[in-house]
Amino acid sequence: MNNFTRATLTGVCVSVFLSVSCSKDNLDEPNGKKNRNEHCEVASFSQQYEGGQPGFIFSKTYDFSGQRLARIDAGLYSGGSIWDTVHLNISYNFNTIYFVSADNLRDTGIVLEVDNYGRPIRAEVGKMIDDGFGPQEFYYSNNRLHNINLDNGWMRIWFRYDVHGNNTQIYTDSADGMPRINHVYQYAHGKKREPQYYMDEARGFSFNVLTILHVAGFFPELNPIHPRVRTTVYWGPYQAYDYQQRDHVYDKSDRLLQYRTARAGEQLPVATYTVGYNCSASNNYLITTAR
């Protein structure tokens, strides 16, 4: 699949994402109290290796209201690491959302259909993302993402959760049932937090559409309420990634601001990940779907 019908952008891109430093006091409310009327959406996610320079994994831009998502700049993965970056303008047409290249408005990366609840149900994928690896169909159970059917059954992505609702596993298989990729997540089941965003593990190209849609704000069920403490990724029998998530930093509203990673069984940190937010101080949720 090469291109789709050109879509018209319905909002002017104005960057309002917040960069977050190491301080625990960023985004803190007066007197240490939570603002129950405030809703914050993850607007940026960055990585910095020890001794290296920080770099964005993704950032998001909103329209003049600051509430409607207008653009995503996000890395594309292949072989476990980011190999390219896509710049996508977003436009809305009832229950269809268009992710259009900001570099070439004739090139549409994703045409997404959502249901009346704003959940993705089908994505057509352009060649700029995974060489048109689609279509992708999304299925739900117990109000959570259950599985994705890729390329008419060529591969499926399955999702598992623990009794607390934390996403504990994402794994794939082929049409013949053979395992391909297995992501396993472990948590510290202590104090509940606000839903947290993690994206440090090795990923393959087959997860790029899922990643972009999760970045856009879909699938909040993939954001755990307990601190993630270990991530292991297998590609078939090969262990591609096995890292601890540690040194979590939260604000007084229990939003995750930052965490570090270290190889399993080792103490020396490898990288620091920082989360930025766009906060809407009202009772209304940020608009990221076609509704």
State residue 32's pLDDT score: 52
CATH number, position 190: 2.40.160.190
**What does DSSP assign to residue 28?**
P
Is 23 within the bounds of a domain?
no
**Structure confidence at residue 29 (pLDDT):** 42
Q: Which of 46-55, 126-135, 178-187 has the lowest mean pLDDT?
A: 126-135
pLDDT confidence band for 197 (50 / 70 / 90): very high
**Torsion (CA) 73, 74, 76, 77 in degrees, nearest 10:** 160
* Dihedral-angle region of residue 143 (phi above 0 means left; psi in -120 to 50 means alpha; beta otherwise): left
Average pLDDT value for residue range 149-174: 92
Question: Domain span at residue 99?
Answer: 30-281
Nearest to 155 by CA among 207, 219, 103, 224: 207
- The domain total for the chain is 1
Work out the burial of residue 127: count CB atoms within 10 Å of its CB; fewer than 13 is exposed, 13-18 middle, 19 or more buried.
Answer: middle
Q: pLDDT: is 97 or 1 the higher one?
A: 97
> What pTM does this model have?
0.84
DSSP 3-state of 278: strand
Predicted local confidence at residue 12, as pLDDT: 31
Of 278, 280, 272, 281, which is closest to residue 21 (Cα–Cα)? 272
CB atoms under 10 Å from CB of 136, counted, come to 25
Peptide bond into 135 cis (omega under 30): yes
Residue 4 lies in a domain: no
Query: Do residues 256 and 194 lie in contact, with contact meaning Cβ atoms separated by under 8 Å?
Result: yes
Provide the pairing of β-strand 69-78 with 55-62.
antiparallel
The whole-number average pLDDT for the span 184-205 is: 92
Which band of pLDDT confidence, cut at 50, 70 and 90, is reported for residue 62? very high
Q: Is residue 52 part of a domain?
A: yes
- Model confidence over 71-119: pLDDT tens digits? 999 998 887 788 889 999 999 998 999 999 999 988 999 999 999 999 9
Higher pLDDT, 231 or 28: 231
> What separation in angstroms does the CA of 116 have from each of 72, 165, 176?
23, 23, 33
Residue 287 counted as domain residue: no
Q: Please indicate, yes or no, if residue 71 is contained in any of the structural domains.
A: yes
Q: Given this model, what pLDDT does residue 177 score?
A: 66
The reply to whether 233 falls in a domain is yes
- What would the pLDDT profile of 241-258 be if each residue is shown by its tens digit? 999 999 999 999 999 999
For residue 247, report the phi and psi dihedrals to the nearest 5 degrees: 55, 45
In a domain, 150, yes or no: yes
Residue 11 lies in a domain: no
Q: How confident is the model at residue 158 (pLDDT cuts 50, 70, 90)?
A: very high
